[in-house]
Each structure stands twice: as structure tokens, then as C-alpha cells.
Amino acid sequence: MNRTRIPQLALALLAALPLAAAAAGVSDGVVKVGVLTDMTGAYSDLAGPGSVAAAQMAAEDFGGKVLGKPIVVISADHQNKADVASNVARRWFDQEQVDVVADLVSSSTALAVMPVAAQKKRITLLSGPGSDPITGDKCTAYNVHYTYDTYSLAHGTGSAVVQQGGKSWFFITADYVFGRTLEEDTASVVKSSGGKVLGAVRAPFPTADFSSYLLQAQSSGAQIVGLANAGADTVNSIKQAHEFGITPKQSLAGLLVFISDIHSLGLEASQGLYLTTAFYWDHDEESRKWAQRFFARTKKMPTMVHAGVYSEITHYLKAVQAAGTDDADAVMKKMKETPVNDFFARNGHIGADGLHRHDMYLARVKAPKDSKKPWDYYQILKTIPPEQAFPALAGSKCPLVKK
């Protein structure tokens, strides 16, 4: 070979290299999962350290390697602040080779990170947040909204409770966008299912003492008191409803309740509460097996957010395996093509809008005498199939959905 041609050849090879890397194999020799969540704040029990543990379990169960390259899980605290979340994500993408960001509990952080990820062609897998615009007008091509959304909560609890005989409703609503949206969504479902709404009261956010609002709910005579709030507000309203003797005469319907809330409240105060959940640890053999491993690690049973983080990361890793690359476009295509059926999701399918539609469950909190073992909290009343639990893809406001 003519020696003078070697530099030219080397140059040509160098130029071709990035292209080749994008087309096949794992970029920069590692698949890095970043769990970005609330480690100490209001959502740290329902997501937080438990989500990080779930992600680590997913990586270990996959064998620690995909396509022969190591899977690395890192985590950071976004403090429920949108600016902190997007700054961390930017650093992860630009300097730390993070391929996928998981969890992002609280919608504001999710909505802040999604466009950054889309711009850099990295994937976001949301388990913690619930806001509908995530897969509506704010949707991106590199996002999966995995565990639940406010639509599924409102529709699950709203229509299923009316079918169970809870015809008349009164709402106690947290007076901000999340609470009001949840109330409006649920009220319209209640009405279209043949129930009626007798009234609503909007409590400032946050509120510690719900007695005034509970008295108003009590005197309304409604069968069902809908709690369109979350976190500490829900916990205090359930506890005080029990104190004021609202339950068991009237029933409570929690529109966003996690098993961590029930655990901290205790069954005495929370018994009889209706709720919709994407996951219950004691649902079947598979879910029990996984949940007990999670428990051994964290000393808590998993919330639906924790189970969702494990399942979404596993689904992602399988897609990387199947696609033979960690290139975001190829992996997203695989993830959307492949149905999800595991201990967490049944009949799951990810739509063009990024929404993961799967079975949801209507549950009722057990009375203390019916609870036979630790964390034996829910009775599953009904499985809600994906087409009833989630909005139809055809009606999506997401611009990616071809009409």
C-alpha cells in the first residue's frame, strides 16, 4: 500500500466512526440510567430512595450488562424544583453520558426535563408524575409516561365507584391546578356514569385542619366524599374524617393515594377508602415475589411508582437488547412496538403519544380485622382494562399522533 494514503484512510475512518456508533452498539461503552427524584421532600416516601432501589434491582436482575456493556445506575435529588431538575439533566446528558432519566416525580420537574432530553435525543421514563399534558400537548418523541396519569385516577375511581353504588358525590378539593383538574375530571366522569355531584369545597393548599370542610361534606349527605388532593392533605383529611364519624356512614374516595399514605395512616383511620392504583404488591404470585425482594432491600412495600420504575427500566433494557443499540430513536421504536406484560403491567402498550396504557385496579382499604399480615391493606374490587382506564390515542392532543 502506498504510505502516503494511510493518513487519508485514517481520516476517512475517523469521520465514519460517530456514524457507525450511532447505528449499532452502545455509545461510550456504558448504558447509564439516571434516577432523578425527590429524595427528602413531600414525595420522598412514594418515590425517592425506593425508586433508586427499584432501578438498581432492575439493573442487577438484567445481569448488570446489556449488549456486553455495563449498566450503571446513578441518582440525584431534584427537590421538586423544575430548574434543579433540568440543570441536573443537562449535566447528566452533556458530561456524564446518561442515556435515560427515570422517575421524575412531580409534574413540573417532568415537564422541565422532557424538552431537554428530546433536544439531546435521550429518553425520559416517567413513573412518579401524573399530569395529563405530559402525553397531551407537551408530549415529546423520547418520553414514556409509564405508571399512571390523572385521567386514569379520575376515571378509575369516578366511574367504578358509581358502578359500585356510590351515586352522590361531594368533593374536598385542594385549591390549585392539580386539585381542580382532578375534581373537574372526576365530576364529569361521575355525571356521565349516572351519578350526581352535590357540591364541592376548595381548601387552600396546604391545609392541616379539615374539620370545617368535613362538616360541610357531612351535611351535604353525599354517599361519597371525593378527596381531590394529595400527600399530607389527603392523609390529614382521611384521619379527620374518621375522627368526625364521616366514615363509615359516608365513604371516602381518594383520587391520588399511595400505599405509603395508607401505611402511615393505619387501617383504623383509612378503612373503606376507595382508590385507583396501578399496582398492588399482594395482587398475585409474581407481584408478591418482586415486592418481597423490594421489601428485603428497603424495609417497605413498594408503591406503584417504585414498581413502575423497575418495570420501565426493564422494558427499556429489553428494548436496547432487541434493538442492538442504545440509540434513542431505535430504542423508542422498539419500546413502542413491544407490548408490556410483567409483574407490574398487564396488557401494557406504549402509544405514539408516549402514554403507557395498561390495566389499572380499583381498590378498597381493608378494615383492621380483615388484614391478616403486615401491609395487607387493599382489597382489589375490579380490574380496569386499558381502554377504560386511559384516554384513547385517537383523541390525543399530542402533535405526534397522526390523525
Partner 1 sequence: MTQALFGQLLVGLINGSFYALLSLGLAIIFGLLDVVNFAHGAQYMLGAYLAWMGLTWLGIGYWVALFAAPAAVGLLGMAVERLLLRRLRGLDNLYGLLLTFGLALVVEGLFRQGFGISGNGYPVPPQLAGAKNLGFMVLPIYRAWAVAVSLAVCFASWLVIEKTRLGSYLRAGTENPQVLQAFGVNVPLMFTVTYGFGAALAAFAGVVAAPVYQVTPTMGSQVIIVVFAVVVIGGMGSILGAIVTGLGLGLLEGLAKFFWPEVSATVVFVAMALVLLVRPAGLFGRQK
* Residue from 33, 112, 269, 319 binding partner 1 (CB under 8 A): 269
Q: Report the candidate in 142, 110, 158 with the shortest Cα–Cα distance to residue 336.
A: 142
Count of residues near partner 1 by CB under 8 A: 39
For the beta carbon of residue 296, count every other beta carbon within 10 angstroms.
8
Shortest distance, position 258 Cβ to partner 1, whole Å: 9
Q: Which residue of 83, 268, 284, 286 would you call a contact of partner 1, by CB under 8 A?
A: 268
Among 24, 65, 244, 368, binds partner 1 (CB under 8 A): 244
36-44, 75-83, 86-94, 273-281 -> range binding partner 1 (CB under 8 A): 36-44
Closest CB 213 distance from partner 1, rounded Å: 7
Identify which of residues 144 and 182 has a Cβ nearer to partner 1 in the complex: 182
Report d(CA 250, CA 241) in Å as an integer: 9
> From CA 161, how far away is CA 242, in angstroms rounded?
20
DSSP string computed for 326-357: --HHHHHHHHHHS-B-SSS-SSBEE-TTSBEE
- Note whether 232 binds partner 1 by CB under 8 A: yes
DSSP 8-state assignment for residue 368 = G
Binding test (CB under 8 A) with partner 1, winner from 18, 70, 245, 368: 245
As a whole number of angstroms, the distance between CA 139 and CA 118 comes to 10
125 and 34 in contact (C-beta within 8 Å)? no
Q: What is the SS3 assignment for 114-148?
A: HHHHHHCCCEEEECCCCCHHHCCCCCCCCEEECCC
Residue 201 vs 401, nearer CB to partner 1: 201
Query: Between residue 246 and residue 265, which ones bind partner 1 under the rule CB under 8 A?
Result: 260-261, 263-265
Residue type, 96: E
Task: Give the residue with the Cβ less far from partner 1, 264 or 338.
Answer: 264
| Residues in contact with 55: Cβ distance below 8 Å, sequence separation at least 6, in sequence order | 33, 35, 73, 75, 102, 103, 309, 310, 313
Let me know how long the chain is: 403
Asked if 100 touches partner 1 (CB under 8 A), the answer is: no
Give the cell for residue 312: 420501565
Does 176 contact partner 1 by CB under 8 A?
A: no
Name which of 266 and 385 has its Cβ closer to partner 1.
Answer: 266
Applying the rule CB under 8 A, the residues between 196 and 215 that interact with partner 1 are 201-204, 206-209, 211-213, 215
Show the binding pattern over residues 133-172: x = contacts partner 1 (CB under 8 A), - = does not.
----------------------------------------
Nearer to partner 1, 98 or 235 (CB): 235
Q: Does the footprint of partner 1 cover residue 235 (CB under 8 A)?
A: yes
- Which of 81, 90, 239, 382 binds partner 1 (CB under 8 A)? It is 239
User: Do the Cβ atoms of 347 and 330 come closer than 8 Å?
Assistant: no
| Binding piece for partner 1, criterion CB under 8 A, among 12-20, 68-76, 161-169, 241-249 | 241-249
Q: Is 367 a residue that touches partner 1 (CB under 8 A)?
A: no
Alpha helices in 164-303 (DSSP H): 177-192, 211-220, 231-243, 259-265, 267-270, 285-298
- Give the residue with the Cβ less far from partner 1, 229 or 260: 260
Q: Kindly list the residues in this chain that would bind partner 1 in the complex (CB under 8 A).
A: 40-46, 175, 201-204, 206-209, 211-213, 215-216, 218-219, 232, 235-236, 239-240, 243-245, 260-261, 263-266, 268-269
